[in-house]
Structure 1
């Protein structure tokens, strides 16, 4: 447990696990990790709701993207996990704490699930797991979750994990596939003192 006066630790161990999942560190030198990262960012459903600043279109750019993420993790700006099945180790998706603000102990949650793992509650279970870890082990006070207006699946994930809807942010996210147009975002959030919902 991190006290109020302590700062969140960069890349702490052990890796979170529970709800049938284990959250593992991404490894930019692992061919399997790079391939999974590429499949996640190339997925049409991911691209429908997210617009990477730098396109990831092949294994080379995927490895570069993972290496760039590792730099952000090392700097303390982000904590990122590969969501895996606890028993088989199969990669199911990704979840991260982004834009970590250490003074106010706030971060923004982001996640995606690979196509073959959808419909199994992976996003809900991963979000519940990383939320508990962020509050009890990493010392954060507030977690925010933003999704494009219309992304009903992400809205349901947030609500099932106790992230209350706090309002609509106008023009706060790029339109799909564009860096010159914007769309509105629903903002959800949880704070450490909120009750923890039951997640199966």
Structure 2
């Protein structure tokens, strides 16, 4: 599918970019250099401009392949990258996905994650017809737990070091 932009009220959701008009790579590098970010988003290493470029290009490919809808959470007047939100592990036939969200270290504590995730979930349930969305996070990541609760997820598994939450569409258990 083609990427879509979403008006999330205070923020807008758009594709990650690295072009002559808007370049998210410096903010990606800063976010991925943060020790807290690295602790809770350990599967990606974005430590060079080349790696940041590959990250942006990879997100674009995932949209086209219907594998992941990923948005830069952007400040509406400047377009500055504030974080990223997505619906990953998309299975459009089964109507399932897993939510993911992170916020740039300089922007934390402003409610950005919950606002962005709520907008992405509306898209997932409305436009994509998802039946349920899971959300996983490290049990020590208390801000992620707060985001899950604020977005209406129900805790379904708290065993071990990871918590798993689920949000179902109306009428789906």
Alpha-carbon distance in structure 2 between the residues aligned to 1:84 and 1:12? 15
Compute the displacement of 1:20 (Å). 0.7
Gaps of 5+ in 1: 1-9, 171-183, 195-200
With normalisation by structure 1, the TM-score equals 0.78
| 1:104 aligned counterpart, secondary structure | coil
**What is the SS of the residue equivalent to 1:92?**
strand
The equivalent of 2:39 in structure 1 is 48
Q: Using the alignment, how far apart are the partners of 2:133 and 2:53 within structure 1?
A: 28
SS where residue 116 of structure 1 aligns? helix
Matched, 1:123 2:109: no
- TM, length-normalised to structure 2: 0.89
Alignment check: 8 A CA contact 2:16 2:59 kept: no
**Runs of 5+ consecutive residues of structure 2 not aligned to the other structure:** none
Q: Counterpart of 2:130?
A: 140
The higher radius of gyration belongs to 1
Rounded to whole Å, the distance in 2 between the matches of 1:60 and 1:43 is 18
Aligned equivalents of 1:44, 1:12: Cα separation in 2: 30
Q: Which has the higher contact order (CA 8 A, sep 6+)?
A: 1
The match for 1:36 is 27
Aligned partners of 2:130, 2:18: CA distance in 1, in Å? 27
After superposition, where does 1:2-81 map in structure 2 within 5 Å? 10-13=1-4, 15-29=5-19, 32-53=23-44, 55-81=45-71
TM superposition outliers: structure 1 runs of 4+ over 6 Å: none
Q: What's the C-alpha RMSD, in Å, of the aligned pairs? A: 1.8
Counterpart in the other structure of 2:169: 192
CA distance in 2, matches of 1:85, 1:61: 23
